[in-house]
Structure 1
Amino acid sequence: MMYKLFASACIGLAALGSTPIASADTWPSRPIVLLVPWAPGGSSDTIARILGEDLSRRLNTTVVVENKPGAGGTIGSAQLARAKPDGYTFMLGVSGDQVNAEFLYPNLSYSPSKDIVPVSTVAREAILIAGNAKLPAAGPQDMLALAGKQELSFGTSGIGSTGHLAGELLKRRAHAQLNAIPYKGNAPAITDAIAGHVDMVIASPVAVVEHVRTGSLKALAVTSAERIEQLPDVPTLKESGYDIEVNTWYMVVAPAKTPQDIVERMSAAVRESVASPAVHARITQIGAIPQASTPQEMGALLKDERTVWGKLIQEAGISAQ
């Protein structure tokens, strides 16, 4: 598919002492900062560094990855929202900080939907539902039949995380007795699931797959539309009869009022990067599915995601404060 890039000429000074309006004709002329609102070492950080390395070559500049973790991704997102919209600050966020935050944190200092604009998606990642070894269930039907008779607990990486919301959605769609137990990250949730302190864990496949392979946990279902490469024998919820599809989306965003020609050019660079064999392979290796988009396509995705998850968060009375 051919993508049309929009360019505009620098139109001079808006007022005495002001700087020229940024233009794709001269951009980039210095290093670009790519914020990550999560800690180093996680999937977001890894994808940002893969992308940043390739974009540095494509844009003929240095893309510097800076981690600004905390408060469910809202600290880094707030910094992005306040950044000068000159095309030199972007962020590699996830659907949690770009979709769920405005419903989970009623006192945010910024608006994800007004102060931040879409550039391109980068990849999506399924969520894996895994039970402890003693759970008498081999798949989603067994698990939900059991949850129809008794309450089952599931650990998640935190309040309002994609795993938490996937469990809440399944609870409502399947009329199951599922009780979310939020932890501070995937690791303690997985540890307690293995120990039997919670019945299941709903988390990123990357964090869980090795425990499934060793038999410490049993994979029950994935939430994507298709089965995942790492666990091809594990069914999806959809093929098991439940109309549920949940993904964590990785995405590049920019401060509002960033010149549209620069947004379009960065979007095109991201799409080219994600489509390249080297970047595609590296993203796939960590368990995500590469999938880039135009700003307009990403905007439509965000609108749909906010409708679904905003309604669920409000109905379930979920709050991170």
Structure 2
Amino acid sequence: MTFRFTVLTTASALALSVSAAQAETDWPTRTINVIIGAGPGGDTDFNTRTMARYFEQITGGSMVVTNMPGGGATIATSAVKDADPDGYTMLFGHTGHLIVTEVSGLADYGIDDFEICCIPGIDQGAVFVASAQSGITSIDELVARTDAEPQSVVFGTEFGGYSHLQGTIFQQETGADMRVVDTGSASDKIAALLGGRIDVGGIAYGAIQDYHTAGQMVVLGQPNETRNELLGDIPTFAEQGVDFVMNNPYIIAFPKGTDPEIVAKMEDIMRQITEIPEYAADLEQGFKQPVSFLAHDAAMERLNAIRDTYMPFREVLQSAR
């Protein structure tokens, strides 16, 4: 009788183990909370909500997007890092949120403290723009003005964030001595440009396209290795003699300890999404963004290389805080 009890107990444990494995494979079985460290309407919010719509189309599951702006995205990333690793809390961010914040000292954690799933896209829609009131219409004019009057050009950014690093690297490459001020989020930066409170900023083209068309802003260049033709006739910095290439991969990540099967399944779902023609059309229409995707291994290689490139600017970013 004892032996029979042991066999039954073992069989029951095995059944429970199989049932648990099936539950993991069946993910998602309830709504996933996707947290982003940005407000509504920007490029990160747009990419997240577009992904969520196609995720639901493929899986039949549901996602709710939670905006947690502020603190250079550390409010959002901390919420995900400290969440239960059950697969139902996910971060959709970018290198500004998980690498630049570590470099700048805004966060004491980075990509190694999460389960990185994949790079679901690469922002190739970033541009440098000048306000119409500034009178600056080219990189040469910007550099010439700062040569004649150092600190006379105001560059708006979010201290410790991605655009802060953009401005820092740009100044290093050109020698342009700009006055860097903290303006806050992308929407705040747009308002400051329109109001003439700042002269130059780095921002997603999709967010300022209408202002560019209306003549309220002047696009100075795109920091891509080759032109993103979806942006129209906008030259790269390299075409203008400036060695300034800076793409911003998006990142899907889960709390450390999330089941690898769940992470791998999300990676495969994201790959499927990028193969849908309508998804590509949505990215082009929304933020002039071509489709990109890097699976886990390639994503980690890319992200670690970016971290190594940014780390030498640690002291500059931290001293500005």
What is the CA distance between 1:248 and its match in structure 2? 2.8
Q: Which residue of 1 aligns with 2:130?
A: 131
State the one-letter code of the partner of 2:147. Answer: G
Q: Are residues 1:209 and 2:170 paired?
A: no
Seq. identity, %: 21
Looking at CA atoms only, which structure, 1 or 2, has the larger radius of gyration?
A: 2
Shift of 1:316: 4.6
- Note the residue ranges of structure 2 that are not aligned, 5 or more in a row: 1-11
User: Distance between the aligned counterparts of 2:104 and 2:160, measured in 1?
Assistant: 7
Displacement after TM superposition at 1:233 (Å): 1.9
> What is the aligned residue count?
304
* Structure 1 position 91 matched with structure 2 position 91: yes
Amino acid of the structure 2 residue aligned with 1:140: I
CA drift at 1:157: 4.0
**What is the correspondence of 1:98-247 to structure 2 with a 5 Å cutoff?**
98-105=98-105, 108=107, 111-125=109-123, 126-135=125-134, 137-151=136-150, 152-229=152-229, 231-247=231-247
C-alpha separation between the residues in 2 aligned to 1:25 and 1:133?
A: 54
- The alpha-carbon distance between structure 1 residues 250 and 22, as it changes in their structure 2 partners (threshold 3 A), is farther
Query: Given residue 156 of structure 2, which amino acid in structure 1 is its aligned partner?
Result: T
Cα contact 2:56–2:63 (8 A) shared by 1: yes
* Range 211-220 or range 25-34, more displaced: 25-34
CA shift, 1:304, in A, is 1.6
Per-residue deviation, 1:134: 5.0
What is the distance in 2 between the residues matched to 1:58 and 1:299?
26
Q: Displacement of 1:274 after TM fit? A: 1.9
RMSD: 2.7
Residue in 2 aligned with 1:290?
291
Segment drifting more, 238-247 vs 181-190: 181-190
Runs of 4+ in 1 over 4 A off after TM superposition: 19-24, 134-137
Q: Distance in 2 between matches of 1:196 and 1:60?
A: 47
Within 1, Cα distance between the matches of 2:167 and 2:51?
A: 30
Displacement of 1:298 after TM fit? 1.3
Give the aligned residue type for 1:142.
E
Partner of 1:4: none
Stretch moving more, 309-318 or 69-78? 309-318
CA distance in 1, matches of 2:280, 2:82: 32
User: Which residue number corresponds to residue 307 of structure 1?
Assistant: 308
Aligned twin of 1:3: none
1:161 to partner: Cα distance: 2.7
Distance 1:22 1:244, change over 3 A: farther
- Give the residue type in structure 2 aligned to 1:313: R
Structure 1 stretches of 5 or more lacking a match? 1-11
AA at the equivalent of 1:111: Y
CA offset digits 1:236-276 (Å, max 9, x no partner): 11222222111232221111122222211211110110221
Contact 1:157 1:182 in 2 (8 A): yes
1:148, 1:177 within 8 Å by CA — same for their partners in 2?
A: yes
CA distance in structure 2 between the aligned counterparts of 1:255 and 1:134, rounded to whole angstroms: 45
CA distance in 2 between partners of 1:33 and 1:41 (Å): 18
Q: For residues 93-113 of structure 1, give each alpha carbon's deviation from its aligned partner in whole angstroms, at most 9, with x where no partner exists.
A: 12211111123335x4x6223
Q: Name the structure where helix makes up a greater proportion of residues.
A: 2
